[in-house]
């Protein structure tokens, strides 16, 4: 007999409104606030990092703009192309309707990598040096975004009878013929949020210990390998986001999130191993002035 049926524990009832306040013509949502705070806090932390290594606040302002554009465009296009291409290719104008929901972290990763490549070329920064510093604040931003998913009662986990299970009472979607809100579930968003925050602390402490003497590519390699390995594992605890993931899971044993994580983990491992075995160092002032 399942533990919850004999009432030996009570799941955490999650019934928090996704809206902080609603004026009718405008509503402020937790997700939007936390998304924005990721950039606000990230800019402050990045300013400290850049100042400590001889760069200016102006550099941070410019890279933040590149980051915002790369994150939003990448996350939106990633969701449309990776998860529901048949829907958005049929009606491309829907791609612009971000308020309807649909952002993908793998798409955001690709968007950030491309936008920072353009930033590095234009302003003559070493690309890996830029990535090593930016992943510190990306980890923090990812933690806040997953909290936003929690407030939206989305990206929920599979049913469980663990004592910290959540009942997402505002989630009324049908999963395997059962309304999601009726079953205690893994708080998968919280797992990822806590993991990303701990990753932020870990990366920042590594940078703070050696600053410009941190081997080139070390922080980026660690970030990619740790984050997407955890993402691969957490997917086993999460409900699939779209129906075609059920087909993939039944045929190859992995969903879209796991398939997209594998190449990133491989790239991260290559860069990490190279940073450890053949460490190189970059002076950001010299590289940006060439």
Strand partners, 157: 238
Backbone angles phi, psi at 31, to 5 degrees: -60, -50
215: helix, coil or strand? coil
Residue written as token pair 């989630």: 171
| 88, 94 contact by CB (below 8 A) | yes
- Going by the DSSP 8-state scheme, the letter that residue 98 receives in this structure is G
Distance CA 84, CA 213 (A): 44
d(CA 42, CA 62): 13
| Collapsed DSSP state (helix, strand, coil) of residue 284 | helix
Question: Could you tell me whether strands 27-29 and 19-22 are parallel, antiparallel, or unpaired per DSSP bridges?
Answer: antiparallel
- Taking a C-beta distance cutoff of 8 angstroms, is the pair 155, 241 a contact? yes
**Is 146 known as a binding-site position?**
yes
**Binding site residues, as ranges?**
146
């Amino acid at each position: 007999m399942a533990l919850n049926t004999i009432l030996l524990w009570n799941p955490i009832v999650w019934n928090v409104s996704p809206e902080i306040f609603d004026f009718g013509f405008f509503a402020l949502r937790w997700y939007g606030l936390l998304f924005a705070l990721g950039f606000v806090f990230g800019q402050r932390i990045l300013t400290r990092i850049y100042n400590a290594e001889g760069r200016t606040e102006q550099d941070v302002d410019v890279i933040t703009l590149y980051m915002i554009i790369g994150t939003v465009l990448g996350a939106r296009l990633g969701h449309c192309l990776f998860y529901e291409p048949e829907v958005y290719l049929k009606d491309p104008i829907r791609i612009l309707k971000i308020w309807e929901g649909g952002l993908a972290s793998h798409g955001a990763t690709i968007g950030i990598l491309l936008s920072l490549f353009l930033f590095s070329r234009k302003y003559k920064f070493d690309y890996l040096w830029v990535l090593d510093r930016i992943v510190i604040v990306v980890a923090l931003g990812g933690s806040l975004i997953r909290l936003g998913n929690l407030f939206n009662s989305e990206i929920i986990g599979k049913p469980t009878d663990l004592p910290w299970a959540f009942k997402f009472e505002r989630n009324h979607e049908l999963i395997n013929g059962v309304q999601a809100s009726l079953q205690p579930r893994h708080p998968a968003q919280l797992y990822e949020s806590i993991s990303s925050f701990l990753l932020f602390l870990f990366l920042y402490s590594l940078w703070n210990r050696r600053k410009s003497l941190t081997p080139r590519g070390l922080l980026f390699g660690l970030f990619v390998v740790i984050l997407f390995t955890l993402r691969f594992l957490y997917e086993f605890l999460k409900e699939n986001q779209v129906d075609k993931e059920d087909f993939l899971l039944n045929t190859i044993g992995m969903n879209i999130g796991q398939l997209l994580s594998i190449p990133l983990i491989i790239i991260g491992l290559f860069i990490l191993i190279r940073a450890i075995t053949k460490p190189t160092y970059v002076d950001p002032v010299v590289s940006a002035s060439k």
